[in-house]
Amino acid sequence: MQPNSVFAFHFINDDDEMYYMYQVTDNSVVSRFVMNQSMIQRYVWFDSRVEWSLYWSMPRDQCDYYGECGHFGVCNSNDSPICECLQGFEPKDLDAWNMRDGSGGCVRTTDLDCTSDGFLRMSKVKLPDTANSTVNATMSLEECRESCLKNCSCTAYSSSNISEGDSGCIIWPDELMDIRQYVDGGQDLYVRLAASDLQAGGEDESKNKQVMVIIVISIASGLLLLGSGGFCIWNRMRKRSRGNIRSGLRLVSFDSVTALGPTQGHFSEENSREKELQLPVYDISTIVAATENFSASNKIGEGGFGTVYKGELEEGHTVAVKRLSKYSLQGLDEFKNEVMLIAKLQHVNLVRLLGCCIHGEERMLIYEYMRNKSLNTIIFDKTRSPQLTWPKRFNIIIGIARGLLYLHQDSRFRIIHRDLKASNILLDEELNPKISDFGLARIFGGDQTDAYTKKVVGTYGYMSPEYAMDGIFSVKSDVFSFGVLVLEIVSGKKNRGIYSTEPQLNLLGHAWRLWKEGNLMELIDGSMSLCNVSEALRCMQVGLLCVQERAEERPHMSTVILMLGSASAMLPQPKQPGYCSDRSTTDTEWSSSCTANDVTVTIVEGR
């Protein structure tokens, strides 16, 4: 835990005892602690609402229950089932395990022999229960390993102090209990396994290089054969697909689109090379029938691109049809850009493109249908926002962050979205977020960090200062937009909303004032019946870090995810955000193109 605007935490660890304590930093805060048979809860009192609000609670999920997966079992709340055995182990009671009762734990498949054993490294885990472990703060990690090897009873080892370069040593002499897998954070745990179990599973510490060479050669040979076969199949299908129209579906190639440089155009990979993209194309008659001739009753949204309709295909699939307006300033270039970008992207938090339709001047994109439409239709609606409970909101924040990280770092190309906003976050049936609308996105080259444009496009309220004013955009531009989204999701308020007590401030300015006063809790949306206040405060602090005025001071999305997912991580203190005050339409040369309802800015000349 870390100090915040409500509590200061202290950790005590000496020869006699280990514990933590906390104290209220603000004497005006009234708090109470509730314990029952299944949960521990901390509440704080809100004078403005005249009610108690949940600050934090434990356990937060099933993996927080002690020994949920038994000895040598690993609990992962992101998996289903949540329990699995360590490599080299199998369920002790298979019938109970299959019924999703992992409390019986796991047993070794091969006994240790104390001569040829090795260690499997597990990363990002909560260390096992240390009740029977021994600690030596003076050892290095390598010395810890050697000590464990010499002790035939040692089952695992780890560093006792990761803050000082993996120093210190913890050794477990018996069964390992209460291991948990994290997505981010956690520590490295080295589990002792028999040599045969290490080789079978791809050991981390094994020194059997001959086995590794054989594995690498085998994999490389297999991939070569698979690639050759795949190319032959693809080439045959490509030839067969030309001119093949069946059931209103065919393939299209944008082979006439020339790749431009990363600062000039929409698609870049090896400058001036043409790229061919094949994508399923629906016949116009299929789309007309699916949307009931673009009936007004099927209209589900409208934006800078045009209108979005709900459609029902003959085979029963529900789709969203995005129809390019003939009068839209986002024209054919943006259409091609979106098709070429999103067809290459695959991530659970990105909307999936199913195909497109080109007929005369008509151009349409066909997407998977999102039953709950866009985030802005719920989060800013007082009647619907209560359905977004805090766990749902936190899941949406994490999902958007993971989608952005994929675009910035993990996808084949580094992609800058440039128009991240609440209306471009779609929600599926389970309210999981999916980033949409890639018409304004740009691809960066390998070492490129930023770019410049004379034509600034985006939505005022979400654009970073350096982009709106100078036309400079980078991954940090998307980070700024993400920070605005986080504050909107937690507060349920639009960035460009009106605050009766502070009409000159937007949401960023309002949040910044509350932060400086130590009253950031007041920003939390009152429509939520229960809220994990410590988690919400962490999100808002991360949001403020993301909207800092200077781009270089904003964190990367990889750091954002780490900060959001780790309750123990120490967060930096944010500096003043960009756009603390809401500008009137008379004091800027470009605000006449912007309105308070987040209309997309189509052409803005940077100063």
Q: Which long-range contacts (CB under 8 A, 24 or more apart) does 3-10 make?
A: 4/534, 4/537, 4/538, 4/541, 5/515, 5/518, 5/519, 5/520, 5/521, 5/537, 6/31, 6/44, 6/55, 6/521, 6/533, 6/534, 6/537
DSSP strands (E only) in 220-373: 249-253, 278-282, 299-302, 306-312, 318-324, 353-359, 362-368
Q: What is the pLDDT of residues 182-203, one digit of tens each?
A: 877 788 999 999 998 886 544 4
**Which of 117, 197, 419, 582 is flagged as catalytic?**
419
Q: What is the pLDDT of residues 411-435, one digit of tens each?
A: 777 888 888 999 999 999 999 999 9
pLDDT band at 53 (very low <50, low <70, confident <90, very high): confident
- Whether 208 shows a pLDDT value over 70: the answer reads no
What pLDDT sits at residue 68?
Answer: 92
CATH, range 374-604:
1.10.510.10
- Whether 266 shows a pLDDT value over 50: the answer reads no
pLDDT band at 499 (very low <50, low <70, confident <90, very high): low
What pLDDT sits at residue 75?
Answer: 94
- Percentage of the chain modeled with pLDDT above 90: 36
Determine the average pLDDT of the residues in 122-126: 91
In the chain, the amino acid numbered 36 is N
- Percentage of the chain modeled with pLDDT above 70: 74
CA angle 212, 213, 218 (to 5 degrees): 100
pLDDT band at 276 (very low <50, low <70, confident <90, very high): very low
Q: Identify which of 116-130, 463-477, 592-606 has the greatest average pLDDT.
A: 116-130
- Whether 154 shows a pLDDT value over 60: the answer reads yes
Residue 421 marked as a ligand binder: no
**C-alpha to C-alpha distance for 510 and 305, rounded to whole angstroms:** 32
Q: Is 204 marked active-site?
A: no
Determine the average pLDDT of the residues in 539-558: 94
CATH, range 242-369:
3.30.200.20
- The residue that leads in pLDDT, 264 or 127, is 127
Q: Which residues of 377-409 are buried (b: 16+ CB within 10 A; e: fewer)?
A: bbbbeeeebeebebbbbbbbbbbbbbbbbbbbe
What pLDDT sits at residue 334?
Answer: 66
pLDDT band at 346 (very low <50, low <70, confident <90, very high): confident
Please, is 48 exposed, middle or buried when counting C-beta atoms within 10 Å of its C-beta (0-12, 13-18, 19+)? exposed
What pLDDT sits at residue 100?
Answer: 84
pLDDT band at 598 (very low <50, low <70, confident <90, very high): very low
Determine the average pLDDT of the residues in 510-519: 90
Q: Which of 72-86, 381-395, 414-428, 585-599 has the lowest mean pLDDT?
A: 585-599
- The residue that leads in pLDDT, 336 or 3, is 336
What pLDDT sits at residue 443?
Answer: 72
pLDDT band at 607 (very low <50, low <70, confident <90, very high): very low
What pLDDT sits at residue 163?
Answer: 61
Enumerate the domain spans of the chain: 7-58, 65-207, 242-369, 374-604
What pLDDT sits at residue 445?
Answer: 55
Q: What is the pLDDT of residues 66-115, one digit of tens each?
A: 899 999 999 988 777 889 999 999 999 998 888 888 999 999 999 998 88
**C-alpha to C-alpha distance for 214 and 226, rounded to whole angstroms:** 18
- Whether 26 shows a pLDDT value over 90: the answer reads no
What pLDDT sits at residue 595?
Answer: 32
Determine the average pLDDT of the residues in 428-448: 78
Indicate the average pLDDT of the chain: 78
What pLDDT sits at residue 587?
Answer: 33
- Whether 143 shows a pLDDT value over 90: the answer reads yes
Q: Identify which of 266-280, 301-315, 473-487 has the greatest average pLDDT.
A: 473-487
Q: Which long-range contacts (CB under 8 A, 24 or more apart) does 355-360 make?
A: 355/249, 355/279, 355/280, 355/281, 355/282, 356/252, 356/279, 356/280, 356/281, 356/282, 357/281, 357/282, 357/283, 357/284, 357/286, 357/287, 357/321, 358/252, 358/281, 359/283, 359/284
Determine the average pLDDT of the residues in 263-291: 61
Q: Give how far Cα 365 sits from Cα of 141, 261, 308, 372, 390, Å.
A: 55, 25, 9, 19, 33
